Structure 1
Amino acid sequence: MINSLLISLQTNIPTPVPKDLPLPLPLPEWLLIIILVISFLAHLVFVNLMLGGTLLTLWSQIKGLKDKKYDLLAKEIASTITVNKSIAVVLGVAPLLSINVLYTVYFYSANALTGLAWIAVIPLVTIAFLLTYLHKYTWKVFENNKAVHISILALATVILLFIPFIFLTNINLMMFPEKWAVVKGFFNAMMLPNVFPRYFHFLFASLAVTGLFLFWYMSRKNYEFENLLPGFTRYDIQRKGYSLALIASICQMLIGPIVLLTLPTKGMGWNLILVIFTGVAMALPAMWMMWKGLQASRENIGKNFYKVVILMSITVVFMGSGRQIYRANALEPHQKLVKLRTEEFQKIKKEAFVKSRRAQAAENSADLSLADKGKKVFNQNCAACHKPKEMLVGPPVTEMAAIYKDKKTDLINWIKKPGKKRPNAPQMPGFPKISDEDMSTLTEYILTINN
């Protein structure tokens, strides 16, 4: 019945259905999901800061070729990139392990289908990080050669812009097993409808988060603003930070519907719609507060800053939860198929194991019966003159076994028609009446008595 169900389902839906690994989860599933969502969002915030900071540093340094104060701004933003990068890497361990445990078959299948691109993540990340360090610590070295200095950061920026494509393509592909049979490599998978909308949504999120971060970072009382950024006022930077965050958030709002429309409907549900629109409802007042802050006086621009951050943080949590809900909705039918296939495989494996054990038991029983039969023939015809290991009338059986080792035919001939070998022992009588079957079991018993 299970086989029939699997065949019918797979006939209607040409989807690869692998077997799962029937291993228990190390923690309750709901707890692993919470860890996945929270740790991923924490990791994502610092990835946003790293990428957004890199883009703003590049923009500021290019603009600094004509206006020196922007070069100083680029230097200050660059000093935050490597720190945020390190935190992003550390925070990336928990979500990576969680998604591996929760979605092993799906995550590793997507990794295998994207092949070299997925493997290339580590060397690409390493090169990009080293370039950001090189850029950060060679500011004075290339003071008079800005083209080279900017080129170092530009190369790091290109790599850092490409790496999210790999992750987004994999995360996207793992949700759609029906595409596994038709996808041909990373670039083919990258062309799936939802990848580019999600990518641009991610880019604008990076700029929005970085805008709010710079507003806070350069508004701190212990930040030596006048010494580090002559030519700017705190108000200038605050306006730039708010403006960037607001514009990027508006762009996210415009791209959001495209992200939803390019997602296959199989993962949609009222639970997802409710969570997404709740997140949007939290973002709208935050955007309004940023707009009002840009219209306010110097003293009041940051009046609602922490309210904005809290509301935007709640939005991020809802959006991250929405991703998990869609993933769960999309994979649920396939997971049921995998469960059925796994149960069927376990059933077949169990039956094969039982069959093997029975066959082995039957073989052992046959061997035991053969040995008992040989011993019975021995006791009837030979035991009066031969002991297994001691001299009686004739030599011990162990001696016979040693003499006729690998010479079963010779031993049979001797038993049927023996001669006299030992002057101090009587001649052994012949046993021509022992049947061929009994003779075979008897000689087998004699030759194996040492074993």
Structure 2
Amino acid sequence: MFTKLFIALQNATPVPKDIPLPLPLPEWLLVSILVISFLVHILFVNLMVGGSLLTLWSQIKGLKNKEYDVLAHEIAATITVNKSIAVVMGIAPLLSINVLYTIYFYSANALTGLMWIAVIPLVTVAFLLTYLHKYTWKLLENNKAVHISILAVAVVIFLFIPFIFLTNINLMLFPEKWALVKGFFSAMTLPNVFPRYFHFIFASLSITGLFLHWYMGRKNYPFETIFPSFTRYELKKKGYSLALVASVIQFLIGPLVLLTLPSKGLGWNLILIIFTGAAIALPAMWMMWKGIQGDESTIDKDFKKVLVLMTITVLFMGSGRQVYRSNALEKHRELVKLKTAEFQQIKKEAITKSKQAEAEANTAELSAADKGKAVFNQYCTACHKVDAKLVGPPVLEMAKIYKDNIADLQKWIKKPGKKRPDYPQMPGFESQLNQEQLDQLGEYILTIK
């Protein structure tokens, strides 16, 4: 069945061979590490992106209301911390996806090319800008336009980097499009990129809203000494409101994300996971609404429950992403296994033929030497040793006398004369040896050193 499928699709879909190495860990464990570590990583990415957006909004609003400028300063202090944790926490999912989906990840990297490589310098510039913004707050107090512009550039970069990642990860799922994609801007037009991107942005704002609610409500946070006008209740309510509005928008975008997913990865397992996660989020959103509508004494009543429910929802959504990836690539991975097996068989046969040819060449060389030695052993060893006088002179002496002169050596063997009075007359071998044997014997004698 796979063979027919391969033949049918190989002309339309690139099917590279895989590296035939075993996974370093069981696949289920690598998948678990990928899902969990990615969710931890994306949490801090959300806080970094959402925090940057909220800081920029607050600082612009702070041009007229000083209290918002103070809020911007407090949120900005968290951005550099969250971005550092996001980078560190990104190592595990990056390595895991490299191991589990090597050819898909690197194929997508290659196709997005320069833009994928640009992630590193972009991240570097954005991080440096956030530090510059953080540590020039007082220095640029009287030049807010420049200070805000520094953050604005960092925010634009922070918004663009996830877009590169989403485009790249999305491209992994479409090997049938690899032959058609002409770089990053071509890949970004594939289905699901923009819906997923906007879903990610509002997820960042939702998580940042919950973070703001918690951050401003900490008991050890000297709120009253920092904010002259705002109350804890006001800012916690603003955090809840941001989280709720962003969550509702996510809820509305969710069906669009699902509908733009190519059907090849959809299945009842995915539908069940997505709808279960969405259902768990509904009571959390209701609790946020009640907290916003209530008074100061009830604002924190259900906060822990909200966090637990939203965490479970995120786990379901993260698991759903992995399920879709697995479903979408299942058939193609079967083709890759077939291609890899075929390549390994061809490689094995080529190596076997190469070894056989080498062995035959070596055998041919050894046979020529062995044949000359065999002729010598049969006709010459009664009178000659290699390095000592026996009846006749040693072979080493013959090799020295007839060096590079096999023709005269052969003439002597066929019709020898008598040169030395202390040696007996050597019999001739013209009738015993044919020309091939003479060639072999002569070659053997002249190769002895």
TM-score, with normalisation over the residues of structure 2? 0.95
Residue in 2 that maps onto 1:8:
8
**1:445 aligned to 2:448?**
no
Shift of 1:48: 0.1
Q: How many Å separate the matches in 2 of 1:112 and 1:184? A: 11
Report if the CA contact (8 A) 2:112-2:168 is conserved.
yes
Unaligned runs of 5+ in 2: none
Amino acid across the alignment from 1:258: L
- What does 1:330-409 correspond to in 2, within 5 Å? 330-409=328-407
Amino acid across the alignment from 1:38: I
Partner deviation per Cα, 1:20-75 (whole Å, 9 max, x = no partner): 11111111000100000000000000000001000111111111111111111100
More displaced, 28-37 or 294-303? Answer: 294-303
Amino acid across the alignment from 1:445: Y
The secondary structure found in structure 1 opposite 2:10 is helix
More displaced, 144-153 or 394-403? Answer: 394-403
- What does 1:202-281 correspond to in 2, within 5 Å? 202-281=200-279
Task: Give me the CA root mean square deviation.
Answer: 1.9
Q: Structure 1 residues 49 and 369 mapped into 2: Cα distance closer, same or farther (>3 Å)?
A: same
Unaligned runs of 5+ in 1: none
Q: Structure 1 residues 78 and 403 mapped into 2: Cα distance closer, same or farther (>3 Å)?
A: farther
Residue in 2 that maps onto 1:321:
319
Q: Structure 1 residues 399 and 119 mapped into 2: Cα distance closer, same or farther (>3 Å)?
A: farther
Report if the CA contact (8 A) 1:2-1:344 is conserved.
no
Shift of 1:194: 1.0
Shift of 1:311: 0.5
Residue in 1 that maps onto 2:20:
22
Q: Structure 1 residues 268 and 3 mapped into 2: Cα distance closer, same or farther (>3 Å)?
A: closer
Residue in 1 that maps onto 2:157:
159
Q: How many Å separate the matches in 1 of 2:312 and 2:166? A: 22
Report if the CA contact (8 A) 1:418-1:429 is conserved.
yes
Amino acid across the alignment from 1:442: L
Shift of 1:120: 1.1
Q: How many Å separate the matches in 2 of 1:138 and 1:394? A: 102
Q: Structure 1 residues 77 and 405 mapped into 2: Cα distance closer, same or farther (>3 Å)?
A: farther
Q: Structure 1 residues 293 and 358 mapped into 2: Cα distance closer, same or farther (>3 Å)?
A: same
Of 65, 74, 84, the residue aligned with 2:63 is 65
Q: Structure 1 residues 204 and 5 mapped into 2: Cα distance closer, same or farther (>3 Å)?
A: closer
Q: How many Å separate the matches in 1 of 2:404 and 2:116? A: 61
- What does 1:5-154 correspond to in 2, within 5 Å? 6-11=6-11, 14-154=12-152
Q: How many Å separate the matches in 1 of 2:237 and 2:408? A: 107
Identity within the alignment, %? 74
Report if the CA contact (8 A) 1:19-1:342 is conserved.
yes
Of 182, 185, 188, the residue aligned with 2:186 is 188
Q: How many Å separate the matches in 2 of 1:4 and 1:317? A: 38
Q: How many Å separate the matches in 2 of 1:244 and 1:407? A: 100
Q: How many Å separate the matches in 1 of 2:418 and 2:145? A: 109
Amino acid across the alignment from 2:208: T
Q: How many Å separate the matches in 1 of 2:139 and 2:400? A: 89
Shift of 1:444: 2.3
Report if the CA contact (8 A) 1:208-1:249 is conserved.
yes
Shift of 1:404: 4.2
Partner deviation per Cα, 1:378-421 (whole Å, 9 max, x = no partner): 12332232211212233322333344444444533443455555
Report if the CA contact (8 A) 1:3-1:344 is conserved.
no
The secondary structure found in structure 2 opposite 1:66 is coil
Q: Structure 1 residues 355 and 215 mapped into 2: Cα distance closer, same or farther (>3 Å)?
A: same
Amino acid across the alignment from 1:88: A
Partner deviation per Cα, 1:60-117 (whole Å, 9 max, x = no partner): 1111111111111100000000111111111111000100010111101111111111
Q: Structure 1 residues 403 and 130 mapped into 2: Cα distance closer, same or farther (>3 Å)?
A: farther
Q: Structure 1 residues 48 and 391 mapped into 2: Cα distance closer, same or farther (>3 Å)?
A: same
Q: How many Å separate the matches in 1 of 2:18 and 2:329? A: 14
Amino acid across the alignment from 2:8: S
The secondary structure found in structure 1 opposite 2:217 is coil
Q: How many Å separate the matches in 2 of 1:407 and 1:165? A: 79
The secondary structure found in structure 1 opposite 2:162 is helix
Partner deviation per Cα, 1:310-362 (whole Å, 9 max, x = no partner): 11110000000000000000000000001111111112222222333333333
Q: How many Å separate the matches in 2 of 1:253 and 1:113? A: 32
Partner deviation per Cα, 1:270-306 (whole Å, 9 max, x = no partner): 0000000000001111111111111001111121111
Report if the CA contact (8 A) 2:2-2:335 is conserved.
no
Shift of 1:261: 1.1
Report if the CA contact (8 A) 2:191-2:262 is conserved.
no
Q: How many Å separate the matches in 1 of 2:260 and 2:404? A: 77
Report if the CA contact (8 A) 2:369-2:440 is conserved.
yes
Shift of 1:187: 1.1
